[in-house]
Amino acid sequence: MAYNSSSNREQEIQDIWQSNKTFFRLGFIAVVLLVGIVIGALIFNDNVNFSLNMYGEIISIIVTALVVDQIIRRRDRKQMQQRLLRDVAGPSEDVAKAAINIMREEDWLTGDRSLLKKAYLWEAKLAGVALNGANLAGAALGNSYFMEAYLSNVDFSGADLMGANLAKADMVNTNFHNAQMRYANLEGAYLGAANLRGANLQDAYLADAHLTDMYFGDATFDENTVLPDGSRWDTSAELDRFTDPAHPNFWQPGWVAEKEMNP
């Protein structure tokens, strides 16, 4: 017990140091310089002028130290961001998930701060990942793996998802506006209230997908697009029978009712 308490205390001290090391360093510099002033004042007769000169030097050194520290912090942050992006795009699924967790802690997943916006993540291994609310607008995600991922409220607008595997992913309220989704696998995906306006769904596979309240708008289909009931799209296809529960021939996958009964 005593060992654990000691270890925890050491960790707390390390955390405090990491969070405030800049101020500790500047404080140390200030103390050393003040000691120098006292010693100099005892040595030199012109105490006032000497003190004023030393105070000026202190301010100059502290300002310089602050500027240098900020430059170092920016450089370190940039290097960290680049490493995290490499990890997300890399071959290891576990490493990619760990990188995304760090991004979320640092608030680098949402809005304009998102590191994944317009990122090159071709063939990324992200099965089961939690990216709710992330901004991936304009990202290159061709042939990426998002099976059973949590992608609700994600912004994929303008993203390249050609050949991406999104099977059984949770994508409620997800934005696919103008996304390239040709050959994408959306089998069993939960797409309630998603926005696919302007998306390219040619050759896409939507068998058993849940589309209630989803908006297709001017999305593009072709005869190779497989619809939720297993049929293929043609010009006579009534897409609203998959999206509108009030449609007389409304259709949804059987697993949806099971999920609603056992959330």
Q: Indicate whether 48 pLDDT > 60.
A: no
Find residue 145's DSSP bridge partners.
125, 165
Q: Which residues are within 8 A (CB) of 179 and not within 5 positions of it... i.e. 6 or more apart?
A: 156, 157, 158, 159, 160, 161, 196, 198, 199, 200
Q: How confident is the model at residue 5 (pLDDT cuts 50, 70, 90)?
A: low
Superfamily in which the 112-263 domain is placed by CATH: E3 ubiquitin-protein ligase SopA (2.160.20.80)
Section 105-115 average pLDDT: 94
Q: How confident is the model at residue 83 (pLDDT cuts 50, 70, 90)?
A: very high
More confident residue, 1 or 254: 254
Q: Indicate whether 4 pLDDT > 60.
A: no
| Range of weakest confidence among 44-58, 95-109, 149-163, 231-245 | 44-58
Mean of per-residue pLDDT scores for the chain: 84
Q: What is the pLDDT of residue 43?
A: 56
Nearest Cα neighbor of 82 from 115, 122, 124 is: 115
CB 134 within 8 A of CB 110: yes
Q: Which residues are within 8 A (CB) of 129 and not within 5 positions of it... i.e. 6 or more apart?
A: 96, 97, 100, 146, 149, 150
Q: What is the pLDDT of residue 10?
A: 59
CB 33 within 8 A of CB 50: no
155-178 tens-digit pLDDT: 999 999 999 999 999 999 999 999
| Range of weakest confidence among 67-81, 89-103, 111-125 | 67-81
Question: pTM here?
Answer: 0.73
More confident residue, 124 or 32: 124
Q: To which residue do tokens 């939507």 refer?
A: 206
Q: Indicate whether 1 pLDDT > 60.
A: no
183-199 tens-digit pLDDT: 999 999 999 999 999 99
Section 70-88 average pLDDT: 79
Q: Would you call 215 helix, strand, or coil by DSSP?
A: strand
Q: Map out the domains of the chain as residue ranges.
A: 2-86, 112-263
Q: Which residues are within 8 A (CB) of 116 and not within 5 positions of it... i.e. 6 or more apart?
A: 85, 88, 103, 109, 131, 134, 135, 136, 139
